[in-house]
Amino acid sequence: MVDALAEIIASFHVYRSYLPYGKDTLVEAVERAARTRPELEPVIKALLPLLLEASHELGRRFQQTSGMVMAKGVEDTAFFRYTRLGTLTEVGADPTEFALTAPGFHERMVRRQALLPLSMTTLTTHDTKRSEDTRARISAISEAVPEWEAFVDRMQELARFPTGHSQPSYGKPSQVRGRPAVNASRVTSSRLPAKPATPPAGPSRTKRSKRRSPPPSTPPSICPS
């Protein structure tokens, strides 16, 4: 059962199912997990009814755990191992989708308003790696390749590395030209597997409480004698 739950969590592409709205997402994750681990399919399918019940303890615990695995496996690992453009490898983003058209953006906002009218829409949270102004600058620079290359060359001339240190070659958009776009399978394969915590062997240790000396009957004087 532990392996089945771990496989389902690793198959999530969002933080959690947010029942009842994310029922389809949970079903898709279960189906994906069953295809990946066919030997666990009976157990995986048997867990689905319990995971779909938001009031069931297993369903609640599952949603509390899936977000952590998603964040560590994708946003904190896969997105840092492959960074085509910093604004694409951000919390909640999909690096396989480079950009949206204006009509496509409005269509998504209409759908979001219909499904989740009270949901928060924000540009920066405590989870984002880069603030909205930084992401806007990165996106703007990516559209001004010659100007950025000239600026980087000029800065490297003005601030050369000390003798014995090699000059870095990062920072130029031309150096990432021709890189293939990241694909979904590559991102998925970089996710961290969910492993249950194993308690240490041997007797459990309890922390001894330190004995404190009783407070003095009269507070010490803070005035010089």
Q: Let me know if residue 99 belongs to a domain.
A: yes
Note down the domain range covering 8. Answer: 2-189
In a domain, 25, yes or no: yes
Q: pLDDT by residue (tens digit) across 76-127?
A: 888 888 777 888 888 878 888 888 899 999 999 999 899 888 887 788 888 8
Place of tokens 């014995």: 164
Provide long-range contacts, Cβ within 8 A and 24+ apart, for 166-173: 172/148, 173/141, 173/142, 173/145, 173/148, 173/149
pLDDT-derived band of residue 219, with 50, 70 and 90 as boundaries?
very low
Residue 80 and residue 121: Cα distance in Å, rounded?
A: 25
In a domain, 113, yes or no: yes
Q: For the chain, how big is the Rg over CA atoms in Å?
A: 26
| DSSP string computed for 40-73 | GHHHHHHHHHHHT-TTSHHHHHHHHHHHHHHIII
Answer whether residue 224 is part of any domain. no
The pTM of this model reads 0.55
Is position 178 within any domain?
yes
In a domain, 218, yes or no: no
Within a domain: 127: yes
Q: What is the largest CA-CA distance in the chain?
A: 82
- Asked whether the beta carbons of 4 and 33 are under 8 A apart, the reply is yes
Q: Is residue 19 part of a domain?
A: yes
Give the mean model confidence (pLDDT) for residues 130-139. Answer: 90
Number of domains comprising the chain? 1
Q: What is the pLDDT of residue 39?
A: 92
Q: pLDDT-derived band of residue 192, with 50, 70 and 90 as boundaries?
A: very low
Contact by Cβ (8 Å): 162, 139: no
